[in-house]
Amino acid sequence: MFISAIFILTQFFFPVNVDKKLSSQLDDSINNVKAYDHNLGTAYNNVQNPKEVFLTFDDGPCINNTRKILKILKDNNVKATFFVVGMKGEENPQILKELSNSGMSIGVHTYSHEYSQMYKNADAYFKDYYACKSVIKKITGRNPIVYVRMPGGSDNLVASKSNLENIKKSLNEKGLKYVDWNVSAGDAEVGKTSVDKIKHNIMTQSKGQRIAVILMHDTYYNNFTVEALPDVIKYLKGEGFIFRTFDDLTPGEENKMVDLKVMNRV
Ligand SMILES: [Zn+2]
């Protein structure tokens, strides 16, 4: 009796046709929620997947420019990666220590930067690599990152093709990865590239990139690079890039770099 009464009351308050209407409204709402959720998901992906830039400096540390670079990076609250030369680290230990203590990412470039020696064969390459690694460890107290920047790039024409293949294979077997670049400041040649040209190179080459790995140099003669740096950072920030280093690269970022042929290029 009591149950029947509830049933009748329910039917009174929620007649079947109203129920259907409600149900269809609810479906619409769910679809709207799904559509909304989808849009939100896209927006969320963009937040999760912003444009990223990796500033990288090869060949330092040096007596006159490294601290200037460090100050500019600090003033702009960004971090960068330094692929260092072991011999230069020994010459300027305090500066290398400052880089590391300032949260910059430190990787092996080479100990000697003597192409003719280090690219003779894989053994010579790794002798040079470990000499640089041990300088970094001794001076900073930290191991270098597992990413290396091979002098001249991983497809340089100095080493023979077979030597290069052996070196790259051995690097990977040791859990090391080699990193090139997809944006170059063009500042490798002494005094050849003006401040404006450096800025132009970086602006044009980073356009349209989701991940930009920028090659710059940190040597005593790279004054123009230092001069260009504040505007370069300002430009990249304005373009919506976030600044990353190789210290805490995610597997997803690694995969993207491999796809872009910036890492482990074969
Ligand atoms: Zn170099």
Each residue's pLDDT tens digit, 1-44: 444 444 444 444 444 444 444 444 444 444 444 333 333 433 44
Specify the pLDDT at position 33. 41
Given 58, 59, 187, 218, which residue is catalytic? 58
Cα-to-centroid distance, 37 and ligand 1 (Å): 48
Residue 218 designated active-site: no
Proportion of the chain above pLDDT 90, given as a percent: 79
In angstroms, rounded to a whole number, what is the distance separating the alpha carbons of residues 184 and 239? 18
Residues 123-154: pLDDT tens digits?
A: 999 999 999 999 999 999 999 999 999 999 99
Would strands 81-85 and 242-243 be described as parallel, antiparallel, or unpaired? unpaired
CA-to-CA dists, residue 154 to 68, 75, 263, angstroms? 29, 33, 9
**How confident is the model at residue 47, as a pLDDT?**
62
Report the separation in Å between the CA atom of 157 and the middle of ligand 1, taken as the mean of its atom positions. Answer: 14
DSSP bridge partners of 263? 179
Rounded distance, CA 236 to CA 234, Å? 6
Give dist(CA 109, CA 152) in Å, integer.
10
At residue 189, the pLDDT reads: 82
CA 89 to ligand 1 center in whole angstroms: 14
Mean pLDDT, all residues of the chain: 87
Q: What is the pLDDT of residue 160?
A: 93
Query: Residues whose CB is under 5 A from ligand 1 (ion)?
Result: 58-59, 151
Q: Are 147 and 123 in contact (CB under 8 A)?
A: no
**Which residue of the set 59, 113, 187, 217 is catalytic?**
217
pLDDT computed for residue 37 by the predictor: 39
Q: What is the pLDDT of residues 72-99, one digit of tens each?
A: 999 999 999 999 999 999 999 999 999 9
Sign, CA torsion 231/247/259/59: positive
Distance, in Å, from the CA atom of 26 to the CA atom of 130, rounded to the nearest integer, reads: 66
**Considering the entire predicted model, what is its pTM?**
0.82
Distance CA 193, CA 91 (A): 26
**Is residue 46 over pLDDT 50?**
yes
pLDDT digits 0-9 by tens, 96-123: 999 999 999 999 999 999 999 999 999 9
Q: What is the pLDDT of residue 219?
A: 96
Of the listed ranges 5-19, 169-183, 212-226, the one predicted with least confidence: 5-19
User: Is residue 231 among the annotated active site residues?
Assistant: no
Q: At 68, which amino acid appears?
A: K
Residue 17 has a pLDDT of 46
